[in-house]
Amino acid sequence: MSQKVFVSAQEVADRAGVSRSAVSRTFTPGASVSPETRRKVLEAADALGYHVNHLARGLMRNESGIVCLIVSDLATPHRSGMIKVLTQELQHSGKIAMLVNTDLSDGSVDLALRQAIHYRADASIILSGMPDKSIAQLCLKSGQRLVLINRDDEQDGPLRINLDDEEAAGRILIAFLRAGCRKLAFANSEAGTPSLMARENGFVAAARAHGLDVVVERYGWTGYESGRVLAQRLLTRNQRPDAVFCATDLLACGFMDAARHQFSISVPDQLCVAGFDDIEQASWASYQLTTFAQPLATIAREAVSWLESGPVANSEGRTSAIRLHADLVWRSSIRGG
């Protein structure tokens, strides 16, 4: 194997008997090159295995084609599903994803984020519960476009994509009522992110509108284990709930497991359960969880097409916001249907 690995535009130019500019123009859409020259260049490029160096191109164009995904709870079913559709959509539009994992607590997060900025990423998509607005600020100040998914930062500039959590909460309440439930509970984590709180508040408000109270319990991180603890707390009360809306499918799975295996409560006969996200596990036979599906494909498409719309039209801080509808996926964790 030769020591010299990459071919430069100069070498292609030499072989094709044209100038280096001609090579550059051949690979620049919309540039003025004659068919004949283009043919010669492409031929030489192919023979030499030439490819445009994106580092150099990004340097010149001042636009790298890199989109930075800033993610916490990476391994969670919902988040990984989101990453999957986002990377697909990005690749589809010729961009490439850089991944910044914000799970760690040491300084490496900050470091990686700065890294991403130093690579002059064109944009960042934040799917992180991290309440730290400074990240977003940093991205904006670096001239990146910014997409916030399921966060509700009151900020100018970014595209904000959210679900109509309150409305969904109202719908699930109706479903509980139809099933004959009256002793309502809401199981939440302590994360306190806007979407989680919207679900909680929407549920409580809807119940109140029907003259009903909701027992709200919050605990820990938004995961399976927290669901179990929440079940422990809610199912040992004097007035045991007969319906619980969990802020997340993961919580719901933990909740159901504790209810069944620990308290021998039958779902949905004695207890109706609903979740949110429609992760894969919600459809598993052991859960059959009624839940709300996040429109992942739509979210990804909206996000990427907004990014593609170019860095223009940014009328000095005009905020764009998209509010999407979450479909109710009906399964057997609620009676009736």
Partner DNA sequence: GCGGCATTTGCACGCGATTGCAAGGCTTCC
Partner DNA sequence: GGAAGCCTTGCAATCGCGTGCAAATGCCGC
Using only C-alpha atoms, what is the Rg of the chain?
26
User: Is residue 116 involved in binding a second copy (CB under 8 A)?
Assistant: yes
9 touches, from a second copy, DNA, none (C-beta below 5 to 8 Å by class): DNA
Minimal distance, residue 20 CB to a second copy, in Å:
16
CA 12 centroid distance within chain: 42
Q: Which residues pair with 96 in a beta bridge?
A: 66
Tokens standing for residue 291:
């839940």
Residue 130 dihedral angles phi and psi, to the nearest 5°: -45, 120
User: Is residue 10 involved in binding a second copy (CB under 8 A)?
Assistant: no
Q: Buried b / exposed e across 244-253, counting CB within 10 Å, b at 16+?
A: bbbbbbbbbb
Q: Which of residues 56-115 bind DNA (CB under 7 A)?
A: 56-57, 59-62
User: Is residue 198 involved in binding DNA (CB under 7 A)?
Assistant: no
**CA-wise closest residue to 88 among 281, 297, 311, 267:** 297
Minimal distance, residue 126 CB to a second copy, in Å:
15
DSSP alpha helices (H): ranges in the chain?
Answer: 9-16, 20-26, 35-48, 54-61, 77-92, 108-118, 133-141, 165-178, 194-209, 224-235, 249-257, 296-308
Binding characters for a second copy, 131-170, by CB under 8 A (x = yes): ----------xxx---------------------------
User: Is residue 47 involved in binding DNA (CB under 7 A)?
Assistant: no
Q: Which of residues 64-93 bind a second copy (CB under 8 A)?
A: 64-66, 69, 74-77, 79-81, 83-84, 87-88, 91-92
User: Is residue 46 involved in binding a second copy (CB under 8 A)?
Assistant: no
Strand pairing report for 145-149 and 123-127: parallel
Give me the sign of the Cα torsion angle 79, 85, 89, 91: positive
User: Is residue 94 involved in binding a second copy (CB under 8 A)?
Assistant: yes
Minimal distance, residue 65 CB to DNA, in Å:
11
Q: Where do contacts with a second copy occur on this chain (CB under 8 A)?
A: 1, 5-6, 49, 51-56, 58-59, 64-66, 69, 74-77, 79-81, 83-84, 87-88, 91-92, 94, 96-101, 103-104, 108-109, 111-112, 114-120, 141-143, 224, 228, 253-254, 257-258, 260-262, 280-281, 284-287, 316
Binding site for DNA (CB under 7 A): 6, 8-10, 18-25, 27-28, 31-37, 50-53, 56-57, 59-62
